[in-house]
Amino acid sequence: MEKMRRGTVKFTHPPEVLSHGCAVGKKEGQGPLGKLFDHIQDDEYFGQENWEKAESQFQSAAISICLGHAAINGSDLDLAVGGDLLNQCTATSSAVKKLGSPFLGVYGACSTMAESLITAAALIDGGYGERVLASAGSHFCSAEKQFRTPLEYGSQRPPSAQWTVTGAGAVLLGKTGGKAKITAATVGAIVDMGIKDANHMGGAMAPAFADTIANHLRGVGARPGDYDAIFSGDLGVIGMDLAQELLKRDEIDISAVHHDCGEMIFDRETQDVHAGGSGCGCAASVLCAHILPMLESGQWKRVLFCATGALLSPTTVLQGASIPCIAHAVEIAAL
């Protein structure tokens, strides 16, 4: 790695994407990207006895598909890096323990897929090993139960609320042999603008996204037009607008290339998701189903993937604390 600017690095030997896999739920499968996912699971329990185990099963499925595409086993991995939204990240540890691989658990809320990728890429570039897995996932039912209200209450959701994606994504990085590579990354700093509404995550996260994008562009010396697409993780429609407006104040206009995984994964007209999708599994599954294939097929040359996370907990919300947010950017290029 070469440090370009505080937080931003270019990889000396850009780690390559050897394979990827994703698994999503029925609602995601019915959305605009439905045909692109590797596996659509209609049973919200995924054959398990509770939603937490089901969430883990989605991540297991994504990992199995990913490793299957590369024709390797868990015993071939030098490391797995991953996380989720459940308390103590238990969906990931349950999924990873089957692999028998060295494991670093990360927590970045919905920014987790970008954090996992950056950690994995940095460790490969630094010489840690040759095959490192990055994964993340989430589940609508376990997230609602844990962060908001029991589903059985049938609570009304405000228009700014987002719908947690049931799904997961996994990416296998290696030294060589892929069709896309991780060329640079920016680790974000926490930005907290004082928003306390846990049903307005897009608004809370937009300033963190804008901060990381501005830092990344300065760090690598790029303009928005240098990218075929700049993806936010799950700002939703309200957060997207806010983020673009904040960046314009900094004289950075990303509107022509800005997409949001949360905005894309559901049809807001027909799927009743309000401001869009969210959750670790949102950015992770869209990365694997749409973004990486567009690079691998050569339709895109260079993309910035910037997943965003709201670092709140149900306890801090009830205690009236504001929501610290973070965003990490990963630059991915076609080979």
Q: What are 80's two structure tokens? A: 């797995």
Q: Which is nearer to a copy of itself, 19 or 112 (CB)?
A: 112
Q: Which is nearer to a copy of itself, 156 or 315 (CB)?
A: 315
Which amino acid type is present at position 116? S
Q: Which is nearer to a copy of itself, 41 or 111 (CB)?
A: 111
The Cα angle at residue 3 between residues 115 and 174, in degrees rounded to 5? 50
The contact mask relative to a copy of itself for 59-98 (x = CB under 8 A, - = no) is -------------------xx---x-xxxxxx--xx-xx-
**Which residues are within 8 A (CB) of 237 and not within 5 positions of it... i.e. 6 or more apart?**
202, 260, 263, 268, 275, 276
Count of residues that bind a copy of itself according to CB under 8 A = 61
Min. distance of Cβ 128 from a copy of itself in angstroms? 5
Q: Which is nearer to a copy of itself, 3 or 223 (CB)?
A: 3
Could you tell me if 265 and 32 are in contact, meaning their C-beta atoms sit under 8 angstroms apart? Answer: yes
Q: What are 213's two structure tokens? A: 């994008």
> How does strand 277-278 pair with strand 163-164?
parallel
Say how far apart CA 149 and CA 165 lie, in whole Å: 17
Min. distance of Cβ 321 from a copy of itself in angstroms? 7
Q: Which is nearer to a copy of itself, 162 or 244 (CB)?
A: 162
Q: Taking CB under 8 A as the rule, does residue 6 contact a copy of itself? A: yes
Among 26, 50, 158, 270, indicate the residue that binds a copy of itself (CB under 8 A).
Answer: 50
Q: Taking CB under 8 A as the rule, does residue 324 contact a copy of itself? A: yes
> In the Cβ-directed half-sphere of 295, how many Cα atoms lie within 13 Å?
31
Among 7, 202, 224, 281, indicate the residue that binds a copy of itself (CB under 8 A).
Answer: 7
Could you tell me if 290 and 268 are in contact, meaning their C-beta atoms sit under 8 angstroms apart? Answer: no
What spatial distance separates the first Cα and last Cα of the chain, rounded to whole Å?
19
Q: Which residues bind a copy of itself (CB under 8 A)?
A: 1-3, 6-7, 9, 12, 49-50, 52-53, 78-79, 83, 85-90, 93-94, 96-97, 100-109, 115, 118-119, 122-123, 125-130, 186-190, 192, 311-316, 319, 321, 324, 326
